[in-house]
Chain A
């Protein structure tokens, strides 16, 4: 199955949530065997993931692992020249690749909102923040009875992101600090009451106290509005703070997915995840226990055969250099792709 994400013609009837196949009731987004390619390079390869309602998901990995590409695929946003090579992303059962432009536009506004990493530069510098709120409300007139109601809700959202409306309403973007702009961007994303909020690196490049504020805000909006949150980060500390479920990517592959407890403490964990956790300096951890991971992330143009982590892995066996491991899911839903951890290395079994 080969799909181009943005221009498959479909009946533009303006409604999105028409299930085309059965999915468990609480699954909002379902990623099936998704491969996203940029030319011959696959930034995301064969990823399966399902996002259920009302949880906080963390998508973790180092730069170039495909975590942002995966996150943007959830909105049908694969930047050209990238394209979905195979697999699908479904929102409430409906394939994003089969949605019309106007359906996708509605999906992104009303159902899945995103705050980009460079959210601070997404404002119009020559009109006030208040005017930009009005523009958004005009573009989507069906969310609120009238504009006043929408504005009132935006004020509530500003309180949620710890800002006073009078600080923001008649202000131009250039008058706001980076941290304030980012929080206003979160309020904008929530204005049309989406079910899912995607945050790309929400705490990266912020100072420690600003990070704390963003962490508190995300917890709050999740508790008070019940929004499902998917956030992308390279920082395991932020995952430890926020996520209920975690997916770890390495060189385009999903290597482990589970609850935050499983990711940090389970016996059965991916060696990469273990190594990443013991490479994080912290004020509480014993400095003597810190170890860096030897070698470096492989070039996606020249991937090693077998497991992509094998060249850097202390546990690697012969099979790891030959056969790419599959993701094995425990009954509890904890998925790990590793020959050694899954007991597939001893007798060469598990194929």
Chain B
């Protein structure tokens, strides 16, 4: 029995300017304790998918099931149990907290509503949640309002609030993208350790492969383009060996925080794809055809199915996976960087070497 499953889900927003589906025929399963990452550009439907799984959006077609029961057929106690078990961590910790409530009120509201603990134990439980999330538990801190917290503290509070209801699945929608760089790893580490200690499953939504590789190591990933799952599989396998051109392009285009790696030549395919960025998704055939640098006639005529492309349940929806170039691996990138550094040192040996010597003197 899977914890949560999404079966043939499609969705259109009624008020949308065009009638393109936000999600089309999406299928996925999340097992207890498993992490599933969802990656794609803005507008690919990943947030809608998260909202659907938390029951905030009803799909136009298909079903979202919690413990094998369609969540839109749940009533009473069953529905309350689902609502409690599946929690959402929003992208924006500034908008996710009621500015008129103190920290204690924010954390105790859910505890009281769902009667997680007896009333007289609520205060103690709030303490426990704050320390669980690595926050101060002093009396003064409990009486603070969200605006008195930093971005990192707010996100910890949002996490504590989600943990209050003892969930089994947490949907984390870009949980670190609005935080300062120096805070990101600590928030990801907190989520990871809570996952391990509480046996949580995660649906981890992100646009950043670096963050996904760090957080979802050992888990699975799905890559979405305009509502269509174009590739899925184990995180490490998909990142090392992408079978869909879109995944390859996302990986190749990533800016690297290392000038020697960052300035390496990106593939010609990436340059072409970046310039086709405004192209609309294709109406017929492969959804990525209008932006794909490897597009062939067949891609415009027939829609490729999501099928086995690599090892261990690695699926991709591409007619020509053999055209997808290999990504530069970390080892190759490092070797290329070292070579570049060597040649740079060789050409610049006369001038900076002198500078280096005087530099040390200047400092001392």
Contacts and interface: CB of A to CB of B under 8 A. Distances in A.
Contacts of A63: 151, 180
A182 to B, nearest CB: 12
Interface residues of B, number: 59
Contacts of A286: 330
Contacts of A74: none
Interface string B230-253: 000000000100000000011101
Interface in A251-308: 260-261, 264, 268, 275-277, 279-287, 290-294, 296-297
B185 A291 contact: yes
A166 interface: no
Given A268-B363, A282-B256, A343-B363, A209 B274 contact: yes
Interface stretch (B19-27, B58-66, B99-107, B265-273): B265-273
Interface stretch (B70-78, B164-172, B301-309, B353-361): B353-361
B253 A209 contact: yes
A329 B278 contact: no
Contact of B182 (A162, A211, A237, A279): A279
- Interface extent on A, as a size class? 35 or more
Interface stretch (B5-13, B81-89, B206-214): B206-214
Contacts of B189: 292
Nearest to B252: A212
Interface string A194-229: 000000000100011111110110000000000000
A280 B183 CA distance: 10
Interface stretch (A108-116, A139-147, A330-338): A330-338
A276 B257 CA distance: 10
A234 B184 CA distance: 13
A2 B185 CA distance: 42
B183 A237 contact: no
Contacts of A191: none
Given A235-B255, A283-B251, A212 B274 contact: yes
Contacts of A264: 258-260
B285 interface: no
Contacts of B263: 240-241
Contacts of B362: 328-331
A210 B181 contact: no
* Interface hub of B151, B189, B251, B254 (most chain A Cβ within 10 A): B254
A211 B181 contact: no
Given A241-B255, A282-B257, A343-B363, A292 B41 contact: no
A90 B51 CA distance: 52
Contacts of B152: 296
Given A237-B262, A283-B213, A296-B183, A330 B253 contact: no
A154 B203 CA distance: 46
Contacts of B256: 237, 240-241, 282, 284
20 contacts: A179-B278, A208-B253, A209-B270, A216-B271, A234-B181, A240-B258, A268-B363, A280-B210, A281-B214, A282-B210, A283-B254, A285-B210, A287-B213, A291-B185, A296-B153, A296-B183, A330-B358, A330-B363, A332-B359, A343-B364
Interface of B: 41-42, 150-153, 180-186, 188-189, 207-211, 213-214, 217, 239, 249-251, 253-263, 266, 270-271, 273-275, 277-278, 330, 333-334, 352, 355-356, 358-364
